[in-house]
């Protein structure tokens, strides 16, 4: 067990440590660098297919509709109960 830990210890030294946040007084905003970084990140995105988009949107709309209907009926029930008591 100790030998495995000793072998793995050098790997921890190779891990990149996050750099300190940029000092706002020394670096200003560069729109070109921002746009380039944004484009690089957008190329990494896995976009859904049309079928995935339609089915997942339908699922969200269905669940929101069911939740809204359930809340409506619970509200009506509590309204009816409060009219009976008061």
The C-alpha R_g of the chain, in whole angstroms, comes to: 28
What values do phi and psi take at 47, rounded to 5?
-80, 145
Residues 6+ apart with CB under 8 A from 56: 48
Q: Select the more confidently predicted residue: 16 or 47.
A: 47
Tokens of 20: 């300190």
Beta-strand ranges (E) seen in 15-56 are: none
Render pLDDT for 22-66 as a digit per residue (tens, 0 to 9): 555 557 899 999 999 999 999 999 999 999 999 999 999 999 999
Domain parsing of the chain, residue ranges: 49-86
**Mean pLDDT within 71-85:** 97
CA–CA dist 20, 1 (Å, integer): 35
Distance CA 27, CA 19 (A): 14
Predicted TM-score (pTM) of the model is 0.53
């Amino acid at each position: 067990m100790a030998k495995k830990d000793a072998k793995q210890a050098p790997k921890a030294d190779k891990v990149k440590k996050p750099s300190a946040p940029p000092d706002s007084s020394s670096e200003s905003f560069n729109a070109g660098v921002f746009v380039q970084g944004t484009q690089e990140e957008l190329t990494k995105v896995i976009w859904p297919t049309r079928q995935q988009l339609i089915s997942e949107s339908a699922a969200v709309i269905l669940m929101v509709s069911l939740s809204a209907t359930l809340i409506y009926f619970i509200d009506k029930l509590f309204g009816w109960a409060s009219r009976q008591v008061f």
